[in-house]
Amino acid sequence: MKRISSFYYLLLVIPFLASCGGEEYKKSANDLEYRIIVDKKQPKAKVGEVIKYNVYWRKMNDSLFLSTKDKEIPLYSQVDSPKFKGDPLEVLAMMGAGDSASCKVPVDLIFRGNPPAFLKKGDFMKLDITVDQVLTKEEYDKMMMAQSVSQMQIEQKNIESYLTQNGLTGVKTAAGMYLVTEKEGTGKQPVSGSTVRVNYTGKLLNGQQFDSSLSPGREPFEFVIGQGSVIRGWDEGIPYFKEGGKGKLFIPSTLGYGEQGMGSQIPPNSILVFDIELVEVK
């Protein structure tokens, strides 16, 4: 399941086409240096349409250091006007299905003055883009809805199978997550806007732990319910507990980190399992 990407975030987190030496880059009115590598003569994307594409990051000597194709996570971006001088997404409006292009982008623009060790401040790098598909916003929304429903159904079956195999009784919420109550709390029950403090240990469904507030030096995590400061599964799940309550949250990826995953510890489309203790409701 792929969502419209926050491309400027992906440039930091996920920062085949070799640029032929000697070919000149043009400069757009917005100061983007670019060149079209392949033009399939298809209709070009319009503002408001959504492009499915892959990006390939290269040094100026054409050596590839990262690509979304290798990670099997194509991006989706809605075509829009440039957001800043040299915005590489400006090139999307010059492309159609099957097209490819290359942009020269300042390292400092992308990495905000803190480039990785193999790049230097003041240098340029190449961003090559290949367009797989151009969709209307309506087509994109319909496709995402179908994929979301399918992914949710698959993950719900996996959770139900896990609960059965481990002798656990879970309650399915309206949002599609599952709750296992281990200790009934006796204190206040949080609502949207409540500030809560929670002890937790987060694992994947295979038991691999990725985070815990119980680690040495850590304290219960504090946040406000319903403000979007945590994954949706927490905003939806924590209010089912009363202060002092303990249990487990089984969170489908659609209510967690989705197809993006989170860093190296949470792969794309991961079901999350949280051991929860609601310590305090302020």
Which residues are known catalytic residues? 200, 210-211, 231, 257, 274
Q: Which two tokens stand for residue 87?
A: 């915005």
Q: HSE (CB half, 13 Å, CA atoms) of 6?
A: 5
Q: What is the token pair recorded at 89?
A: 């997404």
Neighbouring-strand partners of residue 251: 272
Q: Which contacts (CB < 8 Å, 24+ apart) does range 261-268 have?
A: 263/13, 265/208, 265/210, 265/211, 266/204, 266/210, 267/204, 268/73
* Separation of alpha carbons 34 and 281, rounded Å: 54
Residue 93 is classified by DSSP as G
Q: Which of 163, 56, 45 is nearest to 105 (CA)?
A: 56
CA distance 180 to 124: 52
User: Which two tokens mark 80?
Assistant: 């829009």
Bridge partner list, 127: 57, 103
Q: Distance between CA atoms of 67 and 127, rounded to whole angstroms?
A: 10
- Residues 5 and 77: their CA atoms lie apart, in Å, by 6
Provide the 10 A C-beta neighbour count for residue 186.
9
> For residues 28 and 60, what is the distance between their CA atoms, to the nearest angstrom?
20
